[in-house]
């Protein structure tokens, strides 16, 4: 057994914060939460880690992360491209050339960065060609992961197939033999790149297997325009007519929604994953719309995501949480509507609820999985400490202050370093793999300013 000491931000129903608190880990679960002296007295033989200056939080949850494609060419796609060009000129060709080795290396790097920034649970966004290699990467670094795989039935593109072929691929992915930290969900590319027949069949598979489902929808106005032209209805309204919406589904993005769509998402308990940095990086209209605030106000299920290393770039949930809070205040010029505490809920317990995993993670409570993040508050940005640690965590800090991380009771980050592998030893492999991937995909190195 192990005791983790510090100021404990429980995220329990009462949102209690325990000064000089402690969390007792027994195996994979949280066995006790309380004041340090009481927990220590009840378990005198347990090893103690941490100090009163530390901040202990539940592991953060990233609801939408591409683990392949972008990592090996990270921060390389120009940020001034016309709408859609980054996807079909850069991202799709890169994905088409990804090997199994590329998938595993890319996922290893992204999940390692995620863990060092306190993200213990990651939901993959559904663009993986070799899910078995992604599972291997997650198990290697000790991350909790839900995997998706490619699913679209357009006429031309990588990994396309008929409805039966795509659903069979999803079924095989769900049947992958994995360890206890890795699971699968049904994933389609989404947008208007899936037929009605495919999305209905995928929904039936998710419901029959009692797993979650995800796809991309309406990060920009193009999906609305396409659905209106094809069906005469807004995207969410059309999907509702097909019986697709429900608590099993987590839609990535949903930036451009009308009032009817918001009401349908809330009423059906369909989750939405907001990736605010991606929308700003790609200029997709978040500042004009920000319907995520309406979803939140109306009691909708909402989580945060970091998206990819060319759309948001950094895999840091706290950065996403702070940006979401700022956008919420800014939209109606109302600083009272949303704050740091609400943002931390989206990164932890409310995000877990939106993604259907709140019975296991998202808060520090007895019986839940021991997924914990320890922030080092001896760092300069924490001096002096605020009387409200959540305010300082969201607005005054980020993933850089994470020192230790535990997943299912195992320490996966110790003193800011991944414990299972030497990430820095992968540097040469990553550079070589990225260069080879660019060559195969026909992607040139681009720098706006001249290099001399």
Mean pLDDT of 435-448: 93
Residue 425, exposed/middle/buried by CB under 10 A (0-12, 13-18, 19+)?
A: exposed
- Where do we find the tokens 């720098």? 447
Band of the pLDDT at 155, cuts 50, 70, 90? confident
Sheet holding 29-35, edge to edge: 29-35, 17-26, 2-9, 47-58, 372-376, 402-407, 410-414, 417-418
The residue written with tokens 């994470």 in the block is 402
pLDDT tens for residues 8-61? 999 999 999 999 999 999 999 999 999 999 999 999 999 999 999 999 999 999
CA-closest candidate to residue 304, choices 313, 316, 286, 287: 316
pLDDT at residue number 84: 83
Tens-digit pLDDT profile for residues 197-241: 999 999 999 999 999 999 999 999 999 999 999 999 999 999 999
Q: Is the pLDDT of residue 86 over 90?
A: no
Mean per-residue pLDDT, 309-313:
92
SS (H, E, C) 141-184: HCCEEEECCCCCCCCCCCCCCCHHHHHHHHHHHHCCCCCCCEEE
Around Cβ 440, how many Cβ atoms within 10 Å?
15
DSSP string covering 205-232, please? HHHHHT--EEEEE-SSSHHHHHHHHHHS
**Region 80-104 average pLDDT:** 92
Instruction: Decide: 104 and 231 in contact? Cβ < 8 Å.
Output: no
**What confidence tens digit (pLDDT) does each residue in 66-85 have?**
999 899 999 999 999 998 88
This prediction's pTM: 0.97
Match domain 2-58+366-418 to its CATH number in 3.30.390.50, 3.40.50.300, 3.40.980.10, 2.30.40.10: 2.30.40.10
Task: Kindly report the average pLDDT of the chain as a whole number.
Answer: 96
Residue with tokens 């924490």, as numbered in its chain:
382
Q: Which two tokens stand for residue 81?
A: 């491209």
CATH number assigned to the domain covering 60-354? 3.20.20.140
Residue boundaries of the structural domains of the chain: 2-58+366-418, 60-354
Per-residue pLDDT tens digits for 56-70: 999 999 999 999 989
Which pairs count as long-range contacts for 40-43, CB under 8 Å and 24+ apart, including other chains? Answer: 40/3, 43/1, 43/3
Confidence category of residue 88, pLDDT binned at 50, 70, 90: confident
């Amino acid at each position: 057994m192990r005791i983790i000491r510090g100021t404990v931000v429980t995220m329990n129903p009462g949102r209690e914060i325990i000064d000089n608190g402690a969390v007792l880990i027994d195996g994979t679960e949280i066995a006790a939460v309380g004041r340090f002296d009481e927990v220590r007295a009840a378990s005198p033989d347990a090893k103690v880690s941490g100090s009163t200056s530390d901040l202990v939080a539940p592991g953060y949850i990233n609801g939408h992360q591409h683990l392949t494609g972008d990592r090996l060419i990270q921060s390389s796609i120009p940020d001034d491209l016309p709408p859609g060009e980054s996807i079909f000129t850069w991202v799709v060709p890169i994905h088409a050339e990804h090997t199994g080795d590329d998938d595993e290396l890319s996922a290893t790097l992204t999940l390692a960065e995620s863990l060092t920034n306190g993200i213990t649970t990651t939901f993959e966004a559904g663009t993986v060609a070799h899910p078995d290699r992604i599972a291997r990467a997650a198990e290697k670094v000790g991350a909790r992961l839900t995997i998706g795989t490619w699913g679209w039935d357009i006429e031309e593109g990588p990994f396309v197939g008929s409805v039966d072929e795509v659903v069979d691929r999803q079924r095989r992915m769900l049947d992958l033999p994995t360890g206890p930290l890795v699971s699968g969900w049904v994933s389609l590319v989404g947008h208007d790149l899936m037929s009605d027949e495919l999305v209905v069949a995928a929904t039936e598979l998710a419901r029959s297997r009692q797993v979650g489902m995800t796809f991309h929808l309406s990060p920009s106005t193009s999906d609305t325009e396409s659905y209106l032209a094809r069906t005469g209805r807004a995207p969410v309204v059309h999907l509702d007519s097909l019986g697709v919406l429900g608590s099993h589904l987590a839609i990535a993005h949903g930036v451009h929604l009308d009032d009817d769509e918001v009401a349908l998402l809330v009423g059906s308990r369909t989750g939405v994953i907001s990736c605010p940095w991606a929308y700003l990086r790609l200029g997709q209209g978040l500042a004009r719309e920000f319907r995520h605030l309406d979803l939140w106000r109306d009691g909708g299920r909402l989580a945060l995501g970091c998206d990819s290393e060319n759309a948001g770039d950094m895999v840091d949930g706290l950065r996403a949480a702070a940006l979401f809070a700022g956008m919420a205040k800014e939209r109606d010029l109302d600083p009272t509507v949303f704050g740091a505490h609400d943002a931390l809920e989206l990164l932890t317990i409310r995000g877990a609820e939106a993604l259907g995993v709140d019975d296991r993670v998202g808060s520090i409570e007895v019986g839940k999985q021991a997924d914990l993040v320890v922030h080092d508050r001896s760092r300069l940005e924490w001096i002096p400490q605020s009387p409200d640690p959540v305010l300082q965590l969201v607005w005054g800090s980020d993933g850089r202050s994470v020192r230790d991380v535990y997943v299912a009771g195992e320490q996966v980050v110790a003193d800011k370093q991944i414990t299972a592998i030497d990430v820095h030893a992968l540097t040469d492999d990553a550079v070589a793999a990225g260069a080879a991937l660019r060559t195969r995909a026909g992607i040139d190195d681009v720098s706006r300013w001249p290099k001399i």
